[in-house]
Amino acid sequence: MIFGVRIGSEGANDETYTLRAPLETSLVSDIMLPEDGTTLTIGNRPARIFREEYSHVLEIYGFSTEASARQFLAKLGAGLVWSRLKHRTAFSFNTQPSPIDYCEPPLPISESSDVYPEFARKGWNELDGHYYSNQTVIKPEHKRLAVWTMGRPRITSSIDAQDIATRVSEALEFPQVEKVLENPKLVLACELYSSSFFESSRNARFLTLVMVLEALNTDQPVSASVRSTIDSLHEQAKEVRDRLGKGDPSIEDFNNFLSRLGGLRTRSIRRGIRDLIVETLQLDPDVSDAVSTAKEVSRIYSLRSTLLHTGYADEEAVKAATVQLEDVVPRVLSIRFSQVVGEL
């Protein structure tokens, strides 16, 4: 189906608003619906969850104003997060309402239109506006609204059965192919890369791809001069701590500080990933400048930190970073694989 249209509101006489939020379940989750269509109660308000073409939809009814529905939406988002946590399931939703697209003046519905029969049964000959089925909206039930359902193409990466057989046979000829499963970091990295294809949100896919590189990172010691400086600071901190009286609350802070100093004896994860990219991609004939690519991935790691520490990062930046990681990560994994099996 490319698109469809149907009645999207009650067209009631009294002014009333409904909060509508699509819920998209993951591949391993589902929402069991009551067979009799029983009305639910959420926060003392009547509600319903029902199935549409591509998702479930949660509707909460009876708001007297759009403002009251919008205020409730913020709380609803937190409630849906809580529900996911307590039931250990997964569904996505959007707490940012999209505006209704109103027609001024109302749009007449021609009797020759393909959509006329759908609205004629409600006695409507014109529409006040419309919205799309995949949007979270606050819909005025006293308006005559249409809801558009857009076809959702699914882009898949297909592989021929013969190609699988060919690649497996190719791997069996590698000198030390059995060494792969003896390398837990490479196995974990490959598992993370595979799981990234199951992530439904861009943020989650982005973070999972970064985690692949983190899994491949190895702790490398910093230079001797830096280690010497750290050791000196470590001894000074220990002396100060040891002079503190027993039970001094600062002792725990000093212990944490000493532990963090110890961690500085190895290079940072960002530096480790940058070195990993240079080391591997310089062996890839299709990568002209491994150093520049490593610097770009290093900046991507900073974006990852921003997203994790604040919960937000620029959407376009995350999108661009994900596209780049989708190219870099399988290249790095392929080279690491080839190194382990003795092909490089």
Q: What is the distance, to the nearest Å, from the Cα of residue 328 to the centroid of all Cα atoms in its chain?
A: 19
144 or 269, higher pLDDT = 144
What's phi and psi for 302, nearest 5 deg? Answer: -65, -40
Q: What is the distance, to the nearest Å, from the Cα of residue 43 to the centroid of all Cα atoms in its chain?
A: 28
User: Residue 229 above 50 pLDDT?
Assistant: yes
What's phi and psi for 150, nearest 5 deg? Answer: -90, 140
DSSP tally for the chain: helices H, then strands E: 10, 10
Task: Measure CA of the first residue to CA of the last residue in the chain; give whole Å.
Answer: 49
Q: Give the separation between CA 84 and CA 69, rounded to whole angstroms.
A: 22
What is residue 303's predicted lDDT score, i.e. its pLDDT? 94
**Strand order of the sheet with strand 3-7?**
3-7, 145-150, 126-132, 101-108
What is residue 27's predicted lDDT score, i.e. its pLDDT? 67
3-state secondary structure of 253: helix
Please check whether residue 193 is in contact with residue 329, taking contact to mean a CB–CB distance below 8 angstroms: yes
Residue type, 69: A
What is residue 2's predicted lDDT score, i.e. its pLDDT? 52
Instruction: Look at the chain and count its residues.
Output: 344
What is residue 228's predicted lDDT score, i.e. its pLDDT? 79
34 or 207, higher pLDDT = 207
- Whether the full predicted model's pTM is greater than 0.75, yes or no, is no
Mean pLDDT of 229-256: 82
User: Residue 211 above 80 pLDDT?
Assistant: yes
User: Residue 94 above 50 pLDDT?
Assistant: yes
What's phi and psi for 91, nearest 5 deg? Answer: -150, 145
Give 154-157's long-range contacts (Cβ < 8 A, gap of 24+). none
Please check whether residue 284 is in contact with residue 331, taking contact to mean a CB–CB distance below 8 angstroms: yes
Cis peptide, bond prior to residue 105, ω within 30 of zero: yes
For the chain, what is the mean pLDDT?
87
Which residue in 261, 274, 148 sits closest to 210, CA to CA? 274
Which H helix or E strand runs over 328? helix 315-340
